[in-house]
Chains A and B, each alone.
Chain A
């Protein structure tokens, strides 16, 4: 499990970036999560003003992995 960004909701404010203890988030107009760093602690969720962050399966990983 990891955190995923809803690109239709994310406004790019970068509020989530300083919150992550593992520096898994970067943002240049749209937040991106580094799946290798995210430990799904969910600390960032409450800091997003537009509920663009949510729990999710890592979509980038191929099925069955």
Chain B
């Protein structure tokens, strides 16, 4: 080993889960080092400059006035996000705005459902939200089919859960769905960061650095070290050198499986490893980014119903023109396969998403030019686990935690879920430290 370094908390990865924890801990006086293997911050909440466009690496829309903004306010980080306004749906070729009250009712009417049918479904939803949560082992699709056989109603639910939870109505437990509605209100409020999604990561990183923490990019963690089942730090490579970092607490943002691989020699509990294999099912999604001279439609975001795999289309430049060169627009189309467990063929997914775009938007081909086609699966997925199948944030190695989208709290998704894991782990570390040191 060439060198040694030490800190109170080593954070492996600068995704939003890692940075949320790092900002809270640095502010609380912990000496923090964040080791990020990539040259840029943010992981799947970052920005790639390409032909003058701020292309996404993951996060497009950022939840506002919720968990994410709460964390930024708490640590004193700038939260520069412009709100996008109410979501819109594309139903039967018509764009429908979701009103702030009675949204679901309005959508079902737009889908051509009769008054009786709408009332039956609404009563069931009210009961599930306000009286008794439905059984956890029933898929949302089966539960809904008790109250309606209207395929267009099913498609409204499908578009939302596919776009936001990265799963299908026939795969998501109805219990998880209603928990999501209760916890995150279905993410009704969101926006875009004018500086690109990377600006959120940079804003948290600034808090870390302002409070004496360090952020090392191009620094890969090669192994997490432990002795007697207690974490000791990690070995990393940085600027062509190998370095040993001593740390009494390690927080990993690499995803639960990768954490276990890096800590391999320290994890004796085979049942934990088996649980990882059984529970962790990565969400597979496709994101196509296009440049356009004119917007494709008159809103910044559409949830798309009635397609094979396309579920959402964003035009962030309608709200943040900074995301494209002068006068141009960026379009991001998201899709997911209708079966989350079938083998994933990236090329086929991209072709299907393109076919859906052509079918839904007349003249699409002549109006939009493909910039980037990304598929997210396997070790670099849409999310490391499907909703309701997350792992525990603690690992079997004492003081080795996971943060990120493989360990989300129940009912949470995407960025709010990820930020919640960072808050939870940071609070646990701060609380235990107070007990150990006797601090108030």
Contacts and interface: CB of A to CB of B under 8 A. Distances in A.
Is the A/B pair a real complex?
Answer: yes
Given A28-B347, A46-B218, A47-B38, A11 B379 contact: yes
Which DSSP category, helix, strand, loop or mixed, fits chain B's interface?
Answer: mixed
B380 interface: yes
Given A18-B48, A28-B346, A50 B379 contact: yes
Contacts of A21: none
A45 to B, nearest CB: 10
B374 interface: yes
Given A46-B38, A49-B380, A14 B346 contact: no
Given A29-B345, A29-B347, A29-B350, A15 B375 contact: no
A27 B350 CA distance: 11
Interface string A19-46: 1000000011110000000000000001
Interface in B323-347: 345-347
Nearest to B217: A46
Nearest to B37: A46
A50 B380 contact: yes
B404 to A, nearest CB: 13
Interface residues on A, range: 10 to 19
Given A11-B377, A12-B374, A50-B379, A30 B347 contact: yes
Contact of B57 (A15, A29, A30): A15
A17 B372 contact: yes
B349 to A, nearest CB: 7
B373 interface: yes
A29 B48 CA distance: 18
B380 A29 contact: no
B49 A18 contact: yes
Contact of A46 (B39, B43, B372): B39
A15 B375 CA distance: 10
How many interface residues does chain B have, given as a range?
A: 20 to 34
B406 to A, nearest CB: 14
A1 interface: no
A14 B374 contact: yes
B375 A29 contact: yes
B171 to A, nearest CB: 21
Interface string B22-57: 000000000000000111100100001110000101
Contacts of A14: 372-374
B377 A12 contact: yes
Nearest to B46: A15
Interface in B60-111: none
B180 interface: no
Contacts of B345: 29
A29 B372 contact: no
Nearest to A43: B39
Contacts of B38: 46-47, 49
A11 B347 contact: no
Contacts of A28: 346-347, 350, 373
A19 B38 CA distance: 12
B286 to A, nearest CB: 8
A30 B348 CA distance: 11
B380 A13 contact: yes
Given A47-B39, A49-B38, A13 B376 contact: yes
Nearest to B381: A11
Contacts of A18: 48-50, 55, 372
B378 interface: yes
A50 B162 CA distance: 25
Contacts of B49: 18
Contacts of B346: 11-12, 28-30
Given A12-B374, A18-B48, A30-B346, 20 more contacts: A9-B379, A11-B377, A11-B380, A12-B373, A12-B376, A14-B372, A17-B50, A18-B49, A18-B372, A27-B373, A28-B346, A28-B350, A29-B345, A29-B350, A29-B375, A46-B218, A47-B39, A49-B43, A49-B379, A50-B378
Give 3 closest A-B pairs by Cβ, nearest first.
A29-B346, A12-B375, A18-B50
13 contacts: A11-B346, A11-B376, A11-B381, A12-B374, A13-B374, A14-B372, A18-B48, A27-B373, A28-B346, A28-B350, A29-B345, A30-B346, A47-B40
Interface of A: 9, 11-15, 17-19, 27-30, 46-47, 49-50
